Structure formats: structure tokens, C-alpha cells
Amino acid sequence: MPIIRPMSELRNKTKEIREICKSVDEPVFLTHNGHGHLVIMSIDHYEQQLAKNGSAKKLAQGQAYFDKGGQGHSHAETIKGLRARARGR
């Protein structure tokens, strides 16, 4: 369920808004005159969102590569290569 607060609460209840952002790990939507105006969130939540977006982008790039006929490696080949890199070979 989205958390929606009026913009005035950011000014008048900054500590409360900050605690909401930290405790629920979701963005808080701020409205101005009944319309969406800003979104605020904790840094941790923001970094999680960036990581998710980066992973989704890489998956989409990989899918596009295969859709164009690109070749890849099997799971076993990938694991073998990762183990070799971890051992320094």
C-alpha cells in the first residue's frame, strides 16, 4: 500500500517522515494541492532499486543478444569458468 503524505508534513514532521522511510523500506509519496509532487526514500531502498534496475537491464540485454542469434555458455561451462577464475587460473 503506498504511503502518501501532504508536502506540509515534510516541513512540519521531518523526523516522522524520515522514520517512515527507514522503517517500511518503501518510498513516501508527497502531494501538493492533492497532486503527486515528490517521492522520497531511504538511501538503502534507493540503492536496492538501482541494483534491481541494473540486473533487469542486464537480463534484457542478454535476452536481446540471444534473440538475435547470439551464442552463450551452458550452466556447467559457466560454473567451470567461474571456479577456474576463483582459483586464479
pLDDT tens across the length of the chain (89 residues): 889 999 999 999 999 999 999 998 889 999 999 999 999 999 999 999 888 888 888 888 888 888 888 887 788 888 999 999 999 86
| Integer Rg of the chain from CA | 21
Residue 56 per-residue DSSP state = H
Considering the four listed CATH numbers 3.30.1490.20, 3.30.499.10, 3.10.150.10, 3.40.1620.10, the one that applies to the domain covering 3-41 is: 3.40.1620.10
Q: What confidence score (pLDDT) does residue 89 get?
A: 64
Length of the chain: 89
Task: Write down the residue that cell numbers 494541492 correspond to.
Answer: 33
Q: How far apart are CA 78 and CA 84, in angstroms?
A: 10
First to last CA, the chain: 50
Boundaries of CATH 3.40.1620.10 in the chain? 3-41
